[in-house]
């Protein structure tokens, strides 16, 4: 028979209850074990997966409307949930939380979601180192600098302008374009259009006209006595020329020349015929021609009065000058001019072959003018026609630079620039920190030095050097970085030589 002690029974019961309670507590879930607890997503939006285990029904919620969850609730088990973040269009990063919980036992885990900011897209830019220039009729090669943060393209408006490269990516690049020689007697214009995104910049070109070929003679007709002789003739041309005689008794020395004024001698051999004879000399330069007509007298009979001139016309430029002709005859004669600007020396002469000087003063008017000198003896009269050009209104002279823009770093420096001009020129700077040496030169191809002092300011600065020849001016634009700013190289060159062709680059000078 078993006897139970009441005190012992109560203790046993309490002990059993404690064991049961301990066992129950040890089986209760205290965490969902969400992995990972922090996630980062891209600015353009992204989906990530987290995993957890639930022993009973669960739910998930987001603290932000830019996050969606799939699934957002479910039964017990091993769960994979997708967290999807929408695109962040803000330039600031953002953060949200996702809470996963089992409400019935008040157990939850939190996932922190961080999303990157949207990339800052700068406004599109497109700049050219120069916007216009004037080109010599000879053409040549040139370059400018294009700077943009976009892909770009370049289009020429004319077949006589070619561009290389014609497109590119964002950055700073030298674009070379080639200008063909202008075969026309009129100037012409063209453009290069640069496009980057919705931006457009235009570079304008004006090209001088081809100068027309010209060959002129100081006289258009000569007369020689039967014994022959020599007369002086000045050939003025802007091209190389050659002369050809129509007759073997008529010669010219030299028979060819270059552009400019060339003194020649026309010679006729002796003649014994009974009637005067004629010939001519043709001067040809490119597509220009001029002709000198020549008459040679037959031997003079002693019983016939004779009075002839070695030239029937004389032509002068606008400048003051003189020329000589011969008076051929067997009688005494006198000479008189009908214009105050036209004189003849001497005004009288005897029989024979007498040399006289025809002199003109400068013609300061734009209009041409004409006069005549009359030689007479009794009833014999011979007239010399004299023509003089007006003051020439030359077409604008050409100045070509090997670059139309320069960029210096803050430290300053020196760059060489080639200047090609067909007339004397001067140059002036509009900024005290910007110098040019030399500041003037004669026609031809010259190299000058452009120097910039150091820029102690934090601000960029700009200036210009203007080259002037007659009515033509060409501008060289110069910019300089401020102190502390980054620049690629000390000097960058932008434009090649227009006049003689070729191209030139300017690189760092320090």
Q: What is the mean pLDDT of residues 249-278?
A: 93
Residues in the chain: 510
Identify the residue whose tokens are 């290069």.
192
Q: What is the mean pLDDT of residues 105-114?
A: 93
Domains of the chain (ranges; CATH) run 38-115 (2.60.40.10), 126-203+395-493 (2.60.40.10), 215-388 (2.60.40.10)
Asked if pLDDT for residue 12 goes beyond 60, the answer is no
At 129-174, the pLDDT tens digits run: 888 887 878 887 777 889 999 999 999 999 999 999 999 999 989 8
Chain mean position to CA 266: 48
At 338-350, the pLDDT tens digits run: 999 999 999 999 9
CB 255 within 8 A of CB 240: no
CB 61 within 8 A of CB 77: no
- 124-143: string of b/e by CB count within 10 Å (b at 16+)? eebebbbeebbbbbbbbbbb
Query: CA-to-CA distance for 141 and 160, rounded, in angstroms?
Result: 12
Amino acid 487: pLDDT: 41
Q: What is the mean pLDDT of residues 56-62?
A: 94
Amino acid 503: pLDDT: 35
The SS3 of residue 38 is strand
Amino acid 444: pLDDT: 82
At 177-200, the pLDDT tens digits run: 889 989 888 899 999 999 998 999
At 383-400, the pLDDT tens digits run: 999 999 888 665 567 787
pTM for the model stands at 0.49
Query: CA-to-CA distance for 471 and 158, rounded, in angstroms?
Result: 27
Asked if pLDDT for residue 3 goes beyond 70, the answer is no
CB-based contacts of 305, cutoff 8 Å, min separation 6: 329, 330, 331, 377, 378, 380
Q: What is the mean pLDDT of residues 4-25?
A: 47
For residue 109, name the pLDDT band (cuts at 50, 70, 90). very high
What's the whole-number average pLDDT of the chain?
A: 85
Query: CA-to-CA distance for 77 and 54, rounded, in angstroms?
Result: 5
479 closest CA partner among 401, 403, 408, 404: 408
Amino acid 1: pLDDT: 44
Give just the sign of the alpha carbon dihedral 491, 494, 498, 500.
positive
Asked if pLDDT for residue 206 goes beyond 80, the answer is yes
Amino acid 396: pLDDT: 61
Amino acid 304: pLDDT: 81
Amino acid 399: pLDDT: 80
């Amino acid at each position: 028979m078993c006897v139970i002690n009441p005190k012992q029974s109560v203790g046993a019961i309490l002990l059993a209850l404690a064991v049961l309670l301990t066992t129950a507590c040890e089986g209760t879930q205290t965490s969902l074990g969400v992995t990972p607890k922090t996630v980062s997503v891209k600015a353009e939006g992204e989906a990530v997966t987290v995993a957890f285990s639930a022993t009973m029904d669960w739910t998930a919620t987001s603290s932000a409307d830019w996050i969606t969850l799939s699934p957002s609730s479910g039964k017990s088990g091993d769960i994979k949930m997708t967290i999807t973040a929408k695109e962040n269009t803000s330039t600031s990063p953002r953060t949200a939380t996702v809470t996963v919980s089992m409400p019935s036992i008040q157990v939850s885990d939190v996932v922190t979601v961080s999303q990157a900011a949207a990339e800052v897209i700068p406004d599109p830019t497109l700049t050219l180192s120069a916007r216009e220039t004037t080109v010599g009729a000879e053409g040549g090669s040139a370059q400018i600098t294009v700077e943009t943060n976009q892909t770009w393209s370049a289009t020429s408006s004319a077949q006589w302008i070619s561009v290389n490269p014609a497109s590119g990516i964002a950055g700073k690049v030298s674009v070379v374009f080639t200008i063909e020689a202008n075969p026309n007697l009129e100037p012409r214009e063209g453009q290069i259009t640069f496009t980057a995104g919705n931006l457009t910049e235009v570079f304008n070109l004006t090209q001088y006209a081809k100068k027309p070929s010209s060959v002129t003679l100081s006289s258009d007709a000569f007369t020689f006595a039967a014994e022959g002789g020599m007369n002086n003739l000045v050939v003025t041309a802007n091209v190389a020329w050659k002369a050809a005689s129509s007759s073997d008794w008529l010669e010219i020395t030299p028979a060819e020349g270059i552009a400019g004024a060339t003194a020649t001698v026309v010679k006729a051999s002796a003649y014994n015929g009974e009637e005067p004879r004629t010939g001519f000399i043709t001067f040809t330069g490119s597509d220009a021609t001029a002709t000198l007509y020549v008459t040679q007298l037959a031997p003079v009979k002693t019983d016939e009065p004779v009075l002839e001139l070695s030239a029937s016309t004389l032509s002068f430029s606008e400048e003051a000058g003189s020329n000589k002709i011969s008076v051929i005859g067997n009688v005494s004669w006198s000479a008189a001019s009908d214009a105050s600007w036209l004189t003849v020396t001497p005004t009288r002469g005897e029989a024979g072959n007498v040399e006289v000087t025809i002199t003109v003063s400068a013609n300061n008017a734009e209009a041409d003018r004409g006069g005549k000198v009359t030689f007479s003896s009794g009833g014999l009269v011979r007239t010399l026609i004299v023509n003089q050009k007006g003051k020439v209104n030359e077409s604008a002279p050409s100045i070509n630079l090997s670059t139309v823009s320069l960029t210096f770093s803050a430290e300053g420096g020196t760059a060489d620039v080639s200047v090609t001009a067909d007339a004397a020129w001067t140059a002036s700077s509009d900024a005290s920190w910007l110098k040019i040496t030399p500041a003037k030169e004669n026609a031809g191809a010259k190299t000058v030095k452009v120097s910039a002092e150091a820029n102690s300011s934090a601000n960029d600065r700009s200036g210009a050097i203007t080259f002037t020849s007659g009515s033509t001016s060409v501008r060289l634009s110069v910019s300089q970085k401020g102190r502390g700013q980054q620049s690629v190289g000390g000097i960058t060159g932008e434009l090649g030589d227009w006049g003689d062709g070729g191209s030139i680059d300017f690189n760092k000078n320090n």
